[in-house]
Structure 1
């Protein structure tokens, strides 16, 4: 939001809770696809159109071995990360003109294997495939579609992931945090601002489409053990 606003964009957000930093905000639960679709439509009406859709929908899904995956919980992860994202993108595309842009915020879990994260990985690899597919479908209309794959973004969400992983594996949170740092050549976490800056760049780049771009300090693996 901040990155686009600082570049003069009027920003609208659909989220579970109100987003006070956005000029226009609508609340909706992405798991209710019909209501979510209506919320996206309301947002577009209030904005007067849409030039850039940044799909930042995402739930982490349950952490655990592939032999303990709960089908219902996995379905919820796919409902939000894949189906709701498709609903939202489809609604936005109906209002887009040549030069518009869809930017999927994916994860390095969409380009690597990720032990104990089957539901999440399935959803993120799906988004990578959808990015390539939508870029092909929409290219003739001059609409660009790209994906950004963030690595480990420092902050409260990552703290929760590390805590959950510690519970499942029996390891300490500090050892897991160190393992995440050691996944990358640069031995560092990234910031949310880096993702926002790249999204703005892609929105303005006239001929970049169908690309899967990582911002991760050069991740070498997602294995933490």
Structure 2
């Protein structure tokens, strides 16, 4: 049966791959992004909204529109996030810390807050939050991001407990390093911070990965589609890494 799926940061990267997967499976998709140009490049038959995921008034208005257009929501992929600063703790500005936590935590909170209301009325639903392997391990030079992604997991587990009695499931996907421009930016900044090369940073990131590789957005999308499916009807409160099996990262990465 066709599902109604809302995806934040859905116009590029992991979110775009999720939207393409759900659409290919015959589902209706509604993508949210701050990048108007990227939204306009999405297929015409997708619903689209350009907004800041930390703006509650905008989020509330979006869900009113979803209820009017679709009559409800089956799946939320709370995927929006930012990398935040790449620096040692003593060199991180408070404003940069707060911005990273706001996008990565306030966004999932607001979207889950309003999605829960629609899903409770239907007695079913799936909420999928994008965390990170940084939400499982500590990462040198990534304190705001790691803190936010650990917080996302605690939030998801609370959602699973609160919403389970209403037939609503919540799970977190933890990507490892994902091929694409965002991770390239992280590696370039970290290389500059450490006075080394991008390739050395890549080797460091993948040294603790048993499959010795980053993952692709499509790998994350496949897991999201499974978690939204009836095949995962009793999977809730779980933290699922799609990362090629990552061990705790080595703080001695060059």
TM-score tier (shorter)? over 0.9
What is aligned with 1:206? 233
Distance (whole Å) between structure 2 residues aligned to residue 93 and residue 184 of structure 1: 36
Q: Find the residue that maps to 1:31 and give its secondary structure.
A: coil
Distance (whole Å) between structure 2 residues aligned to residue 120 and residue 41 of structure 1: 31
Q: Does 1:215 align with 2:238?
A: no
Q: Find the residue that maps to 1:72 and give its secondary structure.
A: helix
Q: Do 2:51 and 2:58's aligned partners in 1 also have CA atoms closer than 8 Å?
A: yes
Q: Does 1:119 align with 2:144?
A: yes
Q: Do 1:54 and 1:102's aligned partners in 2 also have CA atoms closer than 8 Å?
A: yes
Q: Find the residue that maps to 2:28 and give its secondary structure.
A: coil
Distance (whole Å) between structure 2 residues aligned to residue 43 and residue 127 of structure 1: 24
Match of 1:181 among 206, 210, 217: 206
What is aligned with 1:59? 82
Q: CA RMSD in A?
A: 1.4
What is aligned with 2:35? 17
- CA offset at residue 48 of structure 1? 3.0
Distance (whole Å) between structure 2 residues aligned to residue 43 and residue 115 of structure 1: 40
Q: Find the residue that maps to 1:145 and give its secondary structure.
A: strand
- Describe the superposition over 1:110-141 as per-residue Cα deviations: whole angstroms up to 9, x where unpaired: 00010111110110000000111110000100
Distance (whole Å) between structure 2 residues aligned to residue 46 and residue 77 of structure 1: 32
- Describe the superposition over 1:141-185 as per-residue Cα deviations: whole angstroms up to 9, x where unpaired: 010000000011111111111111111111111111111121201
Query: TM (normalized to structure 1)?
Result: 0.95
Q: Find the residue that maps to 1:26 and give its secondary structure.
A: strand
Q: Does 1:49 align with 2:67?
A: no
What is aligned with 1:132? 157
User: What number of residue pairs does the alignment pair up?
Assistant: 225
Which residues of structure 1 form unaligned runs of 5+? none
Distance (whole Å) between structure 2 residues aligned to residue 46 and residue 105 of structure 1: 26
Q: Find the residue that maps to 1:11 and give its secondary structure.
A: strand
What is aligned with 2:188? 163
Which residues of structure 2 form unaligned runs of 5+? 1-18
Distance (whole Å) between structure 1 residues aligned to residue 180 and residue 78 of structure 2: 20
Q: Does 1:152 align with 2:177?
A: yes
Query: TM (normalized to structure 2)?
Result: 0.84
